Structure formats: structure tokens, C-alpha cells
Amino acid sequence: MSITKVERDGAFRFHVQGDMTFSSVNGLLHRSYELFSTLEELEVDLSQVDHADSAGLALVLEWMAQASERNAKIVFTGVPESMLSIARLCQVESLLDGCT
């Protein structure tokens, strides 16, 4: 099991490292409150995510909802294929349009 964390890479750029699964998303969510809540623009790199399941997708959708509530822009890069596959299966792929 890898250590999961979200860290700042710049003024509005962040990366997630480790797993985005049922066992880790709660910690990522709480950490993201501290990091994301005051920003109007965010870029979150997911290319260092080792494993992602439906909970990881749910977290990404939650981050999108929170950003929308405060009229912030959020962009995801390096979205794992496993997360994109789950999004297709759940028919929410269109919500991730523009994510690379």
C-alpha cells in the first residue's frame, strides 16, 4: 500500500500521489479543504495515482462540485485510465471532458 497525499506544486497547481480508493479518499478530501478552499483556479495532476476506484472518481466529482459552488475553475491532468473507464461505465464521462 502506497502513501497517499495531495501536495502543492505551485500557486494553483497540485498533484495527488498514491491511491485514490475507498481507503484513502477521506484523508484526501480533508486535506483538500485546507489546500483548495480559497483558490479561484486549480490544476490537479493525477498522473502519480497508483490505483483508482469509484471512490476516487467520486472525489474528483466532489472537487468539481466544490469548485463550482465557489465559481472556481478546476482542471485535472493525468487522469488514470481506470478512472476514465469507471466514468464511462457510470455514464459520467462527459463531466470529465477536457481532462487529459
Q: List the 41-52 sheet strands across, edge first.
A: 5-8, 13-20, 41-52, 73-77
What domains appear along the chain, each with residue ranges and CATH number?
5-96 (3.30.750.24)
pLDDT digit string, tens, across residues 24-44 = 999 999 999 999 999 999 999
pLDDT band at residue 16 under the 50/70/90 scheme: very high
Give the per-residue pLDDT at 93.
83
Judging by DSSP bridges, how do beta strands 13-20 and 5-8 pair with one another?
antiparallel
Instruction: With a cut of 60, say whether residue 1 has pLDDT above it.
Output: no
Determine the number of helices (DSSP H) and then strands (DSSP E) in the chain: 3, 4
Average confidence (pLDDT) over 51-56: 96
